[in-house]
Amino acid sequence: MRGSLSMITSVRHILLLTVKELRAIRGDKLMLALIVYVFTIATYMVSYAVSTDIKDLSTAVVDEDHSILSRRLADVVQPPLFAAPVQLDPKEAEAALKRGDHVLILSIPPNFERDLRAGRNATLELDIDATAVAHAGNGATFMTSLLSEEISRYFDLPGRGAGLVDVVFRNRYNPNLTPEWFTSVMQLMNSITILTLILSGASMIREREHGTIEHVLVMPVRPHEIVVSKILATALVILAATVLSLIFVVEFLIGVPVAGSLGLFVAGSAIYIAAIASIGLLLASFTRSMGQFGLLVIPVIIVMILLSGGMTPLESMPAWLQAVILTISPSPHFVRFTQSVLYRGSGFGLVGGEMLAMSAMSAAALAIVLLRFRKILSA
C-alpha cells in the first residue's frame, strides 16, 4: 500500500518536473531554432550531398589517340556514375590530380586503336586519387568494367566481361541503391545524437550552476525523479522532432519508402534517445562547467557518429574496436535497428536484441548518474 502510494507520488513528481523542463526548453529560442534547422535543412542537404556511392564522380580524360575508339571510350565516362568528363592535356593531368580536381583520370596513349588493330598489346592508364578512399576503389572497378565491355563491343569480341553468364542484380530493400534512402535516415540519427547529448547534459549543468538543483533536493523529491524528468523532457522534444522529420523530410520530401512499422521505429528511437540522454547526464556528472562539458562532449559525439556503422560498415573496423563500440555506444545498435525496421520491414522479433542493448546502456548510465548524484552536489 505504502509502496504503491510512493510510486504514484514519484510518477506525479516526474510529470511535474518534466513539464518544468519542457517550459525551460520552450524558453530558449536559439536552441529551438537550432533543433528545427538540424532536423529540416541540415537533414535534407546532407541526405543529398553525402554519399559514399559512385555518383557524378569527377573524371578527366587525356586522349592522345584521337581515334574513333578513344572517343567511344571517353563516352563511357558519363552520368550517373561519372560526371561528364573534362578533356585534359597530359601536362595538366598531373597537376589536376594533385589539386584534387578529379578523382579519376583516364589516359589513352597515342596510336592506341592502331596498335590494337595491328595485334599489338596496348595499355590504358587509369590514375586514381587514392586519397578519396570512399570512392576510388569502386570508381576504378566500375570504370575498368565499363571500358572492357566497350572495347569488347567495339571489336565485337566475345568472352570479356560477364558475357558468358548473365547476372541479374537484385538489390533488396533499395533496388536502385539510392543513396538518399540511406543517408537521410543516418543523418536523422546523427541529429538525434548531437542534440540529445548536449540538451540533456546542459540541463544538468545549468541547474547546478544556478543552484536550482539544490533547491529541488530540499523538497520531497528524489534524485531519480529529477534525472528521469530531464530524460523524459529531452526525449519528448527530440522524439517529436525526429518523427516529424521522418514523415515530412525523409518520407515526403526525399521520398524514402518506409517499409517497416512506424510504431516500432518510434519505440526504438525513444529508447535510443533515452540512452543518449542518459549518457549526456553521465558526461555532465563528470564535469563542473560548460567549458569542460563542451570539450568532453565533442569527441563523444564524433565517435558516436563516425563509428556507428552509418558512415562506413561496422564490419570494416578492427575486431577490438567493434567490441568496444558495441559495448559503450548505443549508436551502432540504433543503426542496425533502423536499417532492419525502416528498410527491411523487420518486426520486433528481429530487432528486440538491439533494443535491449540500448536499454541496458541507458540503465547503466543512469545508475552511475544516481550513484554520483550527492557527489555532484557537494562538488
Partner 1 sequence: MGWACELEGVGHRYGPAVALDDVHLQIPAGVMAGLIGPDGVGKSTLLALLAGVRRLQAGRIVTLGTDIASARARASIMPRIAYMPQGLGRNLYPTLSVRENLDFFGRLFGQPASERAERIAMLLEATGLDPFPDRPAGKLSGGMKQKLSLCCALIHDPALLILDEPTTGVDPLSRRQFWELIDRMRVRMPSMSVIVATAYMEEAERFDWLAAVNGGRIISSGSPQELKNIAGADTLEEAFVNLLPESERGRHRPVELRPRKQRPEADPAISATGLTKRFGDFTAVDNVSFEIEEGEIFGFLGSNGCGKSTTMKMLTGLLEPTEGETRLFGKRLANADMEARLGIGYMSQSFSLYSELTVRQNLALHARLYGGAVTRVDDVLQEFDLADVADQQPESLPLGIRQRLQLAVATIHEPRILILDEPTSGVDPVARDSFWRKLISLSRDKGVTIFISTHFMNEAERCDRVSLMHAGKVLAVGTPAELTEKRGNSTLEEAFIGWLEDETGERATEPAGEVAFTPDRKDKNRPLTRLWAYASRETLELMRDPVRLFFAFMGPAILLFTIGYGISFDVDHITFAVYDQDQSPESRRLSEQFTSIRQFDEGPPISSPAEIDTRMGRGTLTVALEIPSGFGRDLHRGHVPEVSLWVDGSMPFRAETAHGYVLGVLNLFSDLLAKESGRAAGAAVSIETRYRFNQAFKSAYAMVPSVVMLILMLTPAIMAAIGVAREKETGTIANFRSTPVTRLEFLTGKQLPYIAVAVLNFWTLYLMGRLLFGVPFTGNLFALFTVSVIYVIATTGLGQLVSSFTRTQVSAVFATAVITIIPTVNFSGLIVPVSSLTPSSQLLGKMFPGAWYQEVSVGSFVKAYGWSDMGWSAAMLCAFVVIYLALSVLALRKQER
Q: For partner 1, give the closer residue by CB, 67 or 178.
A: 178
CA–CA gap between residue 265 and residue 332 (Å, rounded): 15
Which triple of cell numbers denotes residue 14?
516526474
Could you say whether residue 40 binds partner 1 (CB under 8 A)? no
Q: For partner 1, give the closer residue by CB, 226 or 274.
A: 226
Q: How far is the CB of 228 from partner 1 (least distance, A)?
A: 14
Could you say whether residue 2 binds partner 1 (CB under 8 A)? no
CB atoms under 10 Å from CB of 10, counted, come to 15
Could you say whether residue 267 binds partner 1 (CB under 8 A)? no
Q: Which of residues 8-37 bind partner 1 (CB under 8 A)?
A: 9, 12-13, 16-17, 19-20, 23-24, 27-28, 30-31, 34, 37
Closest by CA position to 57, among listed 85, 89, 92? 85
* Concatenated DSSP letters of 231-300: HHHHHHHHHHHHHHIIIIIIIIIS-----S-HHHHHHHHHHHHHHHHHHHHHHHHT-SSHHHHHHHHHHH
Q: How far is the CB of 113 from partner 1 (least distance, A)?
A: 11
Segment near partner 1 (CB under 8 A), from 235-243, 250-258, 306-314, 361-369? 306-314
Q: How far is the CB of 363 from partner 1 (least distance, A)?
A: 21
Could you say whether residue 62 binds partner 1 (CB under 8 A)? no
Q: How far is the CB of 237 from partner 1 (least distance, A)?
A: 13
Q: How far is the CB of 260 from partner 1 (least distance, A)?
A: 10
Distances (CA, A) of 61 to 86, 93, 213, 306, 325: 6, 9, 66, 34, 43
Q: In the Cβ-directed half-sphere of 147, how many Cα atoms lie within 13 Å?
A: 19
Contact 276/197 with Cβ under 8 angstroms? yes
Q: Which of residues 63-92 bind partner 1 (CB under 8 A)?
A: 83
CA–CA gap between residue 249 and residue 45 (Å, rounded): 11
Q: Which of residues 329-368 bind partner 1 (CB under 8 A)?
A: 336, 339-340, 343-346, 350
Q: For partner 1, give the closer residue by CB, 19 or 84.
A: 19
Could you say whether residue 161 binds partner 1 (CB under 8 A)? yes
Could you say whether residue 134 binds partner 1 (CB under 8 A)? yes
Could you say whether residue 315 binds partner 1 (CB under 8 A)? yes
Could you say whether residue 249 binds partner 1 (CB under 8 A)? no
Q: For partner 1, give the closer residue by CB, 52 or 359.
A: 52
Closest by CA position to 144, among listed 163, 160, 120, 155? 160
Could you say whether residue 133 binds partner 1 (CB under 8 A)? yes
Packed helices 262-285 and 348-378: angle between N→C axes, nearest 10 degrees: 20
Could you say whether residue 221 binds partner 1 (CB under 8 A)? yes
Could you say whether residue 166 binds partner 1 (CB under 8 A)? yes
